[in-house]
Amino acid sequence: MKVHLIILLFFSLCIWTQDAAYLPSIYGMQGLRISCDTELQLKYVRNYEGSLGFDFIKIPRVLQKPIEVLVVAEKLQLFKNNLIANGINYEVFLEDVGAHIDKQFALEYDERIVNPKNEILKTFPLYNEITLYLESLQNSHSDILQTFTIGKSFENRDIIGVKISSGGSGKPALFIDAGIHAREWIAPTTAIYAIKQLAENASNSYIFDNIDIYIVPCLNPDGYEFTHRNSANRMWRKTRSTKKFSPCVGVDANRNFDFEWMTVGASSNPCSETYAGVTAFSEPETSALRDFLLSKNNTIKVYITFHSYGNFLLHPWGYTEELPTNEPTLRCVADKAENKLSQKRGTHYEIGSSTNVLYAAAGGSDDWAMGVAGIELAYTMELPSQRYGFAAPRSEIIPVGQETFEAIKIFAKYVEGVK
């Protein structure tokens, strides 16, 4: 009896300490914008990539553009001192991430109260609201829209998607996913906006006369739900998988795809924000996506994945600075999409390969889609959320949805042209 009690106590202690250890606190965390004047300085800052307590938002390769990083309170002073010692300039663009997030979070949940009918896209929906909404669309638009699941998440949630099709088989297809990173809430809503438009607006039906469209709006439902639970979790990025004897939770799903896995910009430390997993496709969410894309027998011509934030329209490769051979086509289609999108309200995107524009990071879904699945064009769209960072206010849901839909139509046109 006594032994049992001790064992029980031991395990609850383990679980407790695990819980306490893995969640970097957002309180006192700051957002720093760093400008380097020399390659040496850039190299110095890059050394922090993947380090605990450092969450890099952007690390451009060129000196002229600033680096953005979120740094936990405990590491701030030393880091700032080191920057100064190396003659590197920085400014604080977010004084206290926690305070900022708390404010946004409270607002978000106030908005829920004024949304009694649970209208989709009035607020950032919970995962079960997304699922219910997509199922209701299937009922009301059964002629063109069907839901499907690509598999289950680690915590056993169905990863739901919709197929929008006017029928027939073997048509070329456009595939879109969103929410691979938990905290990037504007990504799932943008995908849902597109689904809503396609389902409800008959005037869009020309889009799918000749093509099929698949949209999986929330690829990492466990992480997404976790970020909704309370404001301290709002900045969670990874999946929510646990492993025996591992001190930390979750894998960066966008470092977990099996193409040049773990070669650059990914960490083997389970506690890092960019932890690539024990193996490629260790996560049920990424392997479900892999299986789904492969099951479509090369009908998918364009792959788009929504992230936030940054106003970047990125194409492969993310693992090397070399460009794919079809870079001219990637750029040309992206240019058209950006041009159309920007006409809506003047939002501009920077276009280029992930490595050259944002940072090098291997194991991303876009690289895998083009490099392994044989999909012609793959893009990562870092949606805008202006100065709000990840915590875009709900007032951005519709405008970002609308403008992004313009780009989606261009990608759909490209798919249609593939014969």
Q: Interface residues with ligand ARG (CB under 6 A)? A: 254, 307, 314, 318, 354, 358, 361, 364, 366-367, 380
CB of 260 to ligand ARG, least distance (A): 9
Choice between 97 and 357, CB closer to ligand ARG: 357
d(CA 183, CA 85): 34
d(CA 155, CA 128): 14
Q: Comparing C-alpha atoms, which of 406, 315, 291 is closest to residue 364?
A: 315
CA–CA distances in Å: residue 376 to residues 164, 281, 340, 353: 20, 22, 21, 15
Question: Is there binding between residue 183 and Zn ion (CB under 5 A)?
Answer: no
Contacted entry of Zn ion, ligand ARG, none for residue 354, CB cut-off 5 to 8 Å set by kind: ligand ARG
3-state secondary structure the chain: CHHHHHHHHHHHHHHHHHHHHHCCCCCCCEEEEEECCCHHHHHHHHCCCCCCCEEEEECCCCCCCCEEEEECHHHHHHHHHHHHHCCCEEEEEECCHHHHHHHHHHHHHHHHHCCCCCCECCECCCHHHHHHHHHHHHHHCCCCEEEEEEEECCCCCEEEEEEECCCCCCCCEEEEEECCCCCCCHHHHHHHHHHHHHHHCHHHHHHHCCCEEEEECCCCHHHHHHHHHCHHHCCCCCCCCCCCCCCCCCCCHHHCCCCCCCCCCCECCCCCCCECCCCCCCCHHHHHHHHHHHHCCCCEEEEEEEEECCCEEEECCCCCCCCCCCHHHHHHHHHHHHHHHHHHHCCCCEEEEHHHHCCCCCCCHHHHHHHCCCCCEEEEEEECCHHHCCCCCHHHHHHHHHHHHHHHHHHHHHHHHCC
Residue span binding Zn ion (CB under 5 A) among the ranges 143-151, 180-188, 366-374, 399-407: 180-188
Residue span binding Zn ion (CB under 5 A) among the ranges 15-23, 138-146, 175-183, 350-358: 175-183
> Sign of the CA dihedral 79, 84, 87, 89?
positive
Contacted entry of ligand ARG, Zn ion, none for residue 367, CB cut-off 5 to 8 Å set by kind: ligand ARG
Choice between 198 and 237, CB closer to ligand ARG: 237
**Binding residues for Zn ion, total number by CB under 5 A:** 2
CB of 15 to Zn ion, least distance (A): 29
CB of 90 to ligand ARG, least distance (A): 21
Choice between 69 and 134, CB closer to ligand ARG: 69
Contact mark string toward Zn ion, 227..246, x via CB under 5 A = --------------------
Choice between 181 and 409, CB closer to Zn ion: 181
Which of 181, 183, 238, 315 touches Zn ion by CB under 5 A?
Answer: 181
Choice between 307 and 315, CB closer to Zn ion: 307
CB of 39 to ligand ARG, least distance (A): 22
Choice between 379 and 414, CB closer to Zn ion: 379
- Restricted to residues 304-343, the positions that interact with Zn ion (CB under 5 A) are 307
CB of 181 to Zn ion, least distance (A): 3
Contacted entry of Zn ion, ligand ARG, none for residue 314, CB cut-off 5 to 8 Å set by kind: ligand ARG
CB of 364 to ligand ARG, least distance (A): 2
Contacted entry of ligand ARG, Zn ion, none for residue 380, CB cut-off 5 to 8 Å set by kind: ligand ARG
Contacted entry of ligand ARG, Zn ion, none for residue 352, CB cut-off 5 to 8 Å set by kind: none
Active-site residue 119, yes or no? no
CB of 245 to Zn ion, least distance (A): 28
Q: Which one is catalytic: 49, 285, 382, 416?
A: 382
Choice between 301 and 315, CB closer to Zn ion: 315
- The residues that touch Zn ion, with contacts defined as CB under 5 A, are 181, 307
The catalytic residues are: 382
